[in-house]
Structure 1
């Protein structure tokens, strides 16, 4: 797979571990500042808002500028933001809203440059293997390893998970710095509006986009105040909340393993799934 690939793979896995730690620590921090469900849901709202506002510009930037440099900038910004959050963790909830928005904005860049960087580090016939390994490592780090560790660190000391998260971004940035990739030709002026028009004309991708948006909306509504449900109804500790988040990932792994067989046997599986998710 090559040296560049392994550096990218390692950096992605380490930063995904930090994301998993943050996934558990952020709602726990919000719950220490307020017990109002609306205010806690606001943290999730401001953390997700950048995906609506900044994802398209981030994709355009990934088309126009060097992907490796963009990734480095995003990693160091995330590192700095985590350090600030760790330092001012007892600030008012409004400050947490702002930090969630800034961190979410910085997160859009690594997602946008991921595919161009993979193509720049491996040959075309290895792309499927590279994508599979990258997805698997990120899933394990983000969903299984990160949340329990985040909950445990939060139970030890409130700022601890955010400091550890800052370190993971710094380590990932150092690894990416050691990559040596050739600068690829980029279009001079990527057109966001043109891409949106193309998407609206493509029936299959348009349907997938609507389904994905609907599903993510339902999941986001559940996750927004899950920390209160876990603490007040289930009686979970801070560490227990992190472990609880990890168990939720089991369904995703099982679905990924069974998806091919289920879809081959039941043609309306996607439609049924979209209906069942909000009911659950």
Structure 2
């Protein structure tokens, strides 16, 4: 007698021990990182009394993403991922813990140079950790559960954006070094979580190796043959630049309208709430709405709401628009990241994600400066028009592209 075989359902993520350890470790570490990101610019300004000095420190922290993404992606594919994550976490802990040492053992220009070196080091080490973590997540979590896992990671990002600045300001009011000590301790917790993970986080370690440039070329060759992934990278980069423009526009409007700093903080918090709400809605949308349709709807929200920045001036409306755009972006990012993790072969995860980081951060590095100059010399309304024109172009491309319309999230 024939018997019907029912495919075994994946274990719930909350019963997936390795995923849970990774998620909890990242949650604690992200909160510590947000404290450092809040306190580090304040520390630089307090030492130098210069906003430009703080801006330079921020730029140095982002520079490794432009310079090192391609070789870092190839090295992450070449090396054992778990070892990369453990070593990166340890080095991040040492870097953050060295900030109090730099303040205590040096002074003047030498102290500032040490802090700049630490900022660059934190960016470079974070790049390696992120690439290894992305690849490990795609290995630990079944493809059918990737959107849920990515959404839960987005919850970490949104929660850190909400809680981190408040916690950082509380800690720095007690001692200017306490945020960095807290961040170092959070890295220690992440290190413990990673050591407890049993999974190798990848297929069998490759014994065949090529020249580093040839391995980078392999990733680029694979990417050239996959139009949907290429399109996702380009769309994500421009939408992330739009989010940066949204932040700068809100700041400019707040200054022009003399809106109190407390209300400005609440507008920023509204964006965090939007991110969390988008992450909560994603699993529900995944079961009801196709991948391509979800992306088109998300970009339509951008196209409809973004021009409002050119006309609204009240804090309530600013917060509502900012939250709605953040919600839409959260859904867009979760669907796109889930597709990328599911489609890219395990052996190429580091290299393809490295290309993604290179495109994204190059766009942000150049675009952020251009946005600042546009706001300073042209004003709010022309800047909104320029960014909105780009949104119209990529939305039109999304509607016209047959590959993007027909794309679906891969299952097991």
- Alpha-carbon distance in structure 1 between the residues aligned to 2:232 and 2:217: 19
2:148 to 129, 133, 136: 129
| 1:200 shift after superposition | 5.3
Change (3 A) 1:251 1:95: farther
Q: CA deviation at 1:51?
A: 0.8
Instruction: Judge conservation of contact 1:21–1:161 (CA < 8 Å) in 2.
Output: yes
Give CA-to-partner distance per residue, 1:144-186, whole Å, 9 cap, x none: 2222111211121011000110000011101110111136224
1:12-161 map, 5 Å: 12-89=26-103, 91=107, 92-140=111-159, 142-161=160-179
Structure 2 contact 155–275 (Cα < 8 Å) conserved: no
State the 1:77 CA deviation.
0.3
Identify the match of residue 184 of structure 1 among 190, 194, 203. Answer: 203
- Paired residue secondary structure (2:199): coil
Q: Deviations over 1:182-234 (max 9, x none)?
A: 362244447213323554565554454344445555729968xx8xx99xx88
Q: Closer, same or farther in 2 for the Cα pair 1:24/1:246, shift >3 Å? A: farther
Match status 1:209 vs 2:233 = yes
- What 5-or-longer segments of structure 1 have no aligned partner? none
Name stretches of at least 5 consecutive residues in structure 2 with no aligned partner.
1-14, 286-292, 310-324, 326-370, 372-382, 385-412
Aligned mates of 1:132, 1:184 — CA distance in 2: 25
Q: Would the aligned equivalents of 1:148 and 1:243 in 2 still touch at CA under 8 Å? A: no
Aligned partners of 2:51, 2:303: CA distance in 1, in Å?
Answer: 31
SS at 1:88's partner residue?
helix
Q: Which has the higher contact order (CA 8 A, sep 6+)?
A: 1
Match of 1:180, SS state, is: coil
- Number of equivalent positions: 271
Q: How does 1:225-240 map to 2 (within 5 A)?
A: none
Distance of 1:174 and 1:103 partners within structure 2: 20
Give me the TM-score of the superposition, normalised by structure 2: 0.56
Change (3 A) 1:89 1:202: farther
TM-score by length of 1: 0.78
Contact 2:152–2:279 (CA under 8 A) maintained in structure 1? no
Superposition RMSD in Å: 3.7
Larger Rg: 2
CA distance in 1, matches of 2:102, 2:245: 26
Using a 3 Å threshold, how does the CA distance of structure 1 residues 105 and 130 change in structure 2: closer, same or farther?
Answer: same
